[in-house]
Structure 1
């Protein structure tokens, strides 16, 4: 990692040097472009001044040419006039001489001015050339500085390359050393692994011997437990058969006494229930048919005395399913008996199913007492007392018309956990 970091640092320094040299080159190029633009501006100004001076010189030449033409015209006029006015020649000659002198003076002045302008032009041209030479010298100096900077950067790059080469050689030597150390360490690890394998093999043999001894002990214990479980299961079956026989005897005696009373109560309850559900008045035939069908079902339920018929009656007692028990229309004693029998059966089923979550709760429908005498509930408080007496965990639902009993709190045959 350190070598890699050193390489990265060197590369970063090289890139920074390249960036700095490129920036310096850009700065020098910008300076050179500025100087070049300044020189072009000076050249343009000088060219404008030269053009103006040339125009003024041309104007002066034109004026001189015009004056010469005038002088020639005046000479011709004087020649013509001299023929006619010889007398006045002397006077006019003096005037002409004076005019000539004045004109010559003017011409001299104009020539001097033209010479001065030419000298100024020459001076300006010399200054312009000096400026150009100075700019050229500056440009050459900047180029020399750039060359020096480039040479310096090249020398630094060479130094960096030499450093990189040294580092690479060092890295190669270190790699060789590391490879040698790795090979030695691998040989040591191989020897240690072989020794460790031998130790593991001896330990595995010892563990296998111990496991065989433990398995033999466990087999003996399992055989003893199976024999005990068989004896317990046979005893439980006998106890179960005795209890079922006792329950069947008691149930048949109670059902024979209360069959008529129950039929009447069920008839009254079914008629009221069907009348409440039917909205129209022309459904009396349907009501009577449903009542007769329900009475036939009640007769068939009460007439069965076999264990198979009792199971069918328990499942057909409510339209909700085998997990529900409906106690509507029963007397208090019969309701308590049916509740006890139903809970006993559900506890046995729950334990036989290895405590499935689906069979944990049993639901008993007691009603809220709306159809009892004076609307006073009788079955609900008696069922609640029974559950509290036998230490059941329960919860009321459906506005107090149904109780949900937790079967996990009871063992087989009603013994508490």
Structure 2
């Protein structure tokens, strides 16, 4: 498996994309805020959606269509408006928009999906969006991966794309993806959208298995601020144009690799973030304890501000571990800043180690490990720091 540098959703055979300025948010800023992803042959689709009970209209729309296990030709994506908490009118808007694009593409209206991200509680400007159908279809091109990735951004500072080439005895296939997300990032899933494409020939059920398998260590292992969105969705599309029926394990690993890399990019681009931190909990009594502890530490505002202050204030981490409700004993826990063992059996090893720990905390990428010594379960979670910029971005979000 080889990383294809600079490649995105159009890297697999048959996929093309386009973007346009539709002024979905109505602020007249001229941002590209609509995108279209299309395959020249119908594709199988799998998806994982947010577990938020107040899910957005496109999530409801997508669940229904994906659940029928049909073939699809395209997906329309917009930023600037989440189409969430918009009632029956919001759901009807999904139908109107996909129908308009289906007519222009000359495909069945059930062959077009839709995904939205942005402000909650505002109706979609359906007229503005359907008016862009012709332009978006005319502009479809296999070289427009970057344009697609840019158009789906909201508070993102950078585009997020990743692709891998998998060589087999019978030829090669590609798995590629694009994602957006920087704030309201929490597990089950991270608050974001992700679109993964492949030209491998994979049936719908196997496609869903591959995506569900990839979620645990990728989009369900990241957190920026602990807030779950209404629109979170990850799609996986397979059009089979490479002609390669992939080895199951190899394909699962390729999908997981793309998902993990995109998930890490979301954390690195966390709103206002200056630090990327890998929190590891090892030797927990159960998988659930490991997960609960890792997310408790990764979501702690005190720990996240500690990261930003570059302060090895290990007491904040221990306090969070002790409060998270798992099986643990204070006199049994060790703490590492990268490879530096800083605390053993619940107490600091030597105060003289602080300069070394402080030097580690000054790095942009930091790894912290908590060893509970209660069992053999482990969990890794990716998070970032909290900064003043995070507050500024979210205070001004609707403007």
Kindly name which structure, 1 or 2, has the bigger radius of gyration based on alpha carbons. 1
User: Common fold, TM-score beyond 0.5?
Assistant: no
Q: Which has the higher contact order (CA 8 A, sep 6+)?
A: 2
Instruction: From the two aligned structures, give the one with the greater strand fraction.
Output: 2
TM-score (norm 2): 0.22
Q: TM-score, normalised by structure 1?
A: 0.21
